A and B are shown apart, each in its own frame.
Chain A
Amino acid sequence: MSEEKYLLEVEHLKQYFPVSQGFKKIPLKAVDDVSFAIRPGETLGLVGESGCGKTTVGRTLLRLYQPTAGRIVFDGDVLFDSDKGIDVDMLPYRKKMQMVFQDPYSSLNPRMTVEDIIGEPLDVHKLYSTKQERRDKILELMELVGLNAEHAMRYAHEFSGGQRQRIGIARALAVNPKFIVCDEPVSALDVSIQAQVVNMFEELQEKLGVAYLFIAHDLLVVHHISDRIAVMYLGHLMEIADADDLNDNPLHPYTLSLLSAVPIPDPKTARLSKRIILEGDVPSPLKMPTGCPFRTRCNYATDKCAEKMPELSDRGNGHYVACWNR
C-alpha cells in the first residue's frame, strides 16, 4: 500500500487451528491471508457472516492466539513476522492495544467489583503510585464512559447490558490505548442501547484519538461508525473501501448480497429493492473450495475462480476488491 503512516499494518496474516479428525490433524483455516492497515484515529469496520473469522482476526492481532504466519506491525514496531522469526513479548504493547468484547455478561468477572475490574489493567501495568491515585483514575474512567461513580463498589451482575458494556470499555481505556479491537461490542445489546454505545465509541474517538477495528455483522452500525469497511468471507478479505464508497458502489458479489440484505425502513422503497439471495450454504472451513472460497455461491463465478484466489486489486480511491470478474 502507499507510503502513508499507518498505526497498524497486517500483512498476509494466517491463523490455522489444528482440528483432529480421528488420528489425523488437519488445519482449520480460520483466517487465511488477510492484509489491511489502520491509520491513527481511524475506524476500520470489519463485517462478514458468523464464523467467517472476524473475531479471530481481532484476537490474533492482539496476539491472544499465536498467528500461523504473516506479519503484524504496530506503531512502527514489528510484533510478529513469521518469515524473520520475530515474536516479541507483548506485555508493553498490551498498554497500547486493547479489546472490547462481544458479550458483556461473560466478559466481566462476576466475583469482582467494578472498581477492581477497571483497576486491573492499572494494577498489572503499575500505572499508579498511591491507592488514592488508583481510585481517582478509576472514577475518572467511569465518568468518561458515563457510569455513576457511586457504583464503583458494585458487582457486574447488578448492571444492565449497556452499563456492563460501558464497564468493559472503561477497562479497555484504562491503559490509554492507541488502538482498540471492538469485537461486536453492540450485537448483544438492544437497539436503543446500541445507539448510545456506538455514539459513545465515536465521542471517545474524538476525545482520545484512539483507532478502532470495529467488528460487527450489522452493516448499518458499521457504516455509521466506520471510516473504512472491510468485508470478510470464510477467512478471506473480499473487499475493502471507504464506508460511503462501499455502500454506494459495492463491487464484490458477496458485498452486493450483504448490502441487499440490509433492511430498509421505508416499506415503499423496500418493496422496489431486489434482494440477492445466495444459494447453498457456507462451505466448511475444513473443506475449502479451491480458488476463491465464494465461487460456490457466486453468480459471476467462472472457471478461473476455481483455479486461483484473486488478489486484492486497487479499483481507485482506495477501493480494493478480490474478484476476477467485477
Chain B
Amino acid sequence: MEAQNNEVLKRRQLLSSQIDLSKFNKDIFEKATDDEKRQQDVMGESTTFFKDGMRRLRKNPLAMGSIVVLVLILLTIIIAPMFCPYSYSQITNVGGRRDKSAANLGPMEYSQLETQYMEETGEKLFPHLLGTDSLGRDYFIRVIYGTRVSLSVGVVAAVMVLIIGLLYGSIAGYFGGTVDLIMMRIVDIIYSLPDMLIIILLSVVLNETLTPLLAGTALAKLGTNMISMFIVFALLYWVGMARLIRGQILTIKNNEYVLAARAIGTKDGRILRKHILPNCLSVIIITTALQVPSAIFTESYLSFLGLGVSAPLTSLGSLANDARGAMQSYPHRLVVPAIIICLIVLALNLLGDGLRDAFDSKLK
C-alpha cells in the first residue's frame, strides 16, 4: 500500500504543493517523544465562565477606572466618620459650647470661636474640609452621610428589584402559556402607570401610614421617607427586570440541554436553578448594576422635590436642594453633592457597560 502511495506521489500534478516524499531520507526524521507530543495538545488552560469574564473586564480601562472610583467612594464613606469628630446632625460645638459663629463657613475655614479656642488651648481642631452649612453643621460629614444614604438606597432598591423581578420573570417565562399571559398582563398594567405620579402619591400616603407602624422599631431610625422610598422602588421598578428575565428564559428554555435535562428526569426547580438561571446570569448582573444608578437618580430628584429622607438625615439630592437657595454665595455646597452624584452614576453606568461587554456571550 505504501509503495503504491509513493508511486502516485511521484506523478504529482504540476501546481500541486504536495511534498515529494522521495526526496527525503527516512533516517533524518526522528520519532516525537511523549513530551513533544504533549506539546501538541491544543487544549488551553481550563477557564470558568466567571474567570473568563473577569479577564476581559480587567482589560477594560473604563470599567476598571469605575471600580477604582467606586472603591474610593466606598472607603471614604466608611472610614471618614471614624476620624471626623463632627456629626451630621449636630451644630458645631467648641469646648461644649454651641458655636453660633460657625454657620456658612467656607472650605477649611475656622469660626471665630474656634480660632479663639485654638489660641487659648493650643489644641488643633479638625478642619471643616468643606466648610459648614447655614445651621453651622460640618458640610463634609453631611456629604459623607448623604452619599451613604444615596448609595444604600440605590443598592437596596436594585436588590429588591432583582429578587422580585427574578422570581416573577422566571415563573412566567418557564411555565409559559396562560400563566405567562396573565402574569405579563399584570406587568403591562404596572408598566403603563405614570411612575413619577405614583411615586409621589405613594410616598405621601406611605409616609402617613408608616409613621405609627414603625414607631419604636429599629426601622424608625431610618425614617419613614426612606422606607417608603424602598417600597416605591420595589413596587414599581421590578417590572422591567421581570420582563427582561422572562425574555431570557423563553429563549434559553428551548435549548437542547434543557430538553436533555428533561429526558433525564430533572425536576422543574432544578432545571431552572442549574440550567436556565446560570445561563442568563450575565444579563441579570448587568441589569442589576445598571439599576443602581437609576435608583440613585430617582432618589436624588425625589429628595430634591422634598420627598426624600427626612431631616436631619440627608441624601445627596436633598443636600443639593438645600444648597439651591444660597447658590450664588456658596456654590461649593451645590457643586460637591452634584459632582458626587455624577461620579457614582457615571461609574456605575460604565461598570455596567463593562460587565456587559465582559460577560455577555453574544458580544464575544
* Interface, chain A (partner B; CB < 8 A): 59, 62, 64, 90-91, 94-95, 98-99, 101-103, 106-112, 120-121, 124-125, 151, 153-155, 158, 168, 171, 175
Known: A107-B260, A124-B265. 5 other contacts (CB 8 A): A64-B263, A98-B263, A107-B259, A109-B279, A120-B264
Check B49–A175 contact: CB distance below 8 A: no
Contacts of B266 in A (CB 8 A): 120, 124
The CA of A59 and the CA of B262, in the complex, are separated in Å by: 11
Chain B residues with CB below 8 A from A151, complex form: 43
Are B259 and A155 in touch, CB under 8 angstroms? no
B76 at the binding interface (Cβ < 8 Å):
no
CB-CB nearest 6 A-B residue pairs? A94-B265, A107-B256, A111-B278, A109-B257, A99-B263, A106-B256
A59 vs B266: C-alpha distance when bound (angstroms):
16
- Which of B48, B264, B281 touches A171 (beta carbons < 8 Å)? B264
**CA A301 – CA B134 in complex, angstroms?**
99
| Residues of the A chain whose Cβ atoms lie less than 8 Å from the Cβ of B281 | 111
| Minimum Cβ distance to chain B for residue A281 (Å) | 27
Cβ of B332 under 8 Å from chain A: no
Cβ-defined contact, B265 with A91, below 8 A: yes
Is B274 a contact of A112 with CB atoms below 8 Å? Answer: yes
Contact residues of B: prevailing secondary structure: helix
* A124 neighbours in B (Cβ, 8 Å): 264-267, 270
| 8 Å CB contact of A125 from B43, B263, B265, B278 | B265
Q: Which residue of A lies closest to B263 (CB)?
A: A99
Q: Which of B296-334 contact A (CB under 8 A)?
A: none
Q: Is the CB of B279 within 8 A of A64?
A: no
What residue of chain B has the Cβ atom nearest to residue A93's Cβ?
B265
Contact of A107 with B257 at beta-carbon distance under 8 Å, contacts A120-B264, A125-B265 already known: yes
Most chain B CB atoms below 10 A, which of A101, A108, A120 = A120
Inter-subunit contact B257/A108 (CB<8 Å): yes
Q: Give A133 to B243 CA distance when docked, in angstroms.
A: 42
* Residue from B255, B267, B361 within 8 A of A106 (CB atoms): B255
Instruction: Check A155/B48 contact, CB under 8 A, given A110-B279, A112-B274.
Output: yes
In contact, A106 and B264 (Cβ under 8 angstroms): no
Contacts of B275 in A (CB 8 A): 109
Q: How far is B265's CA from A90's CA once the two chains are assembled, in angstroms?
A: 8
Bound-state CA distance A322–B244 (Å) is 50
Which residues from chain A contact B48 at a C-beta distance below 8 Å? Answer: 155
A175 contacts across to B, CB distance below 8 A: 264
Residue of B nearest to A154 (CB): B46
Q: Within B41-59, which residues are at the interface with A (CB < 8 Å)?
A: 43-44, 46-49
Of the candidates B49, B260, B279, B361, the one whose C-beta lies within 8 Å of that of A99 is: B260
| Given A101-B256, A111-B49, residue A158 in contact with residue B263 (CB < 8 A) | no
**Minimum C-beta distance from B267 to chain A (A):** 8
- Structural contact, B265 and A158, CB atoms closer than 8 A: no
Closest to A112 in B: B274
Could you list some 15 contacts between A and B, CB below 8 A?
A94-B264, A95-B265, A99-B260, A101-B259, A107-B259, A108-B260, A111-B281, A120-B264, A121-B265, A124-B264, A124-B265, A124-B266, A158-B46, A171-B260, A175-B264
For residue B160, CB closer than 8 A to chain A, the reply is no
A158 and B44: CB pair below 8 A? yes
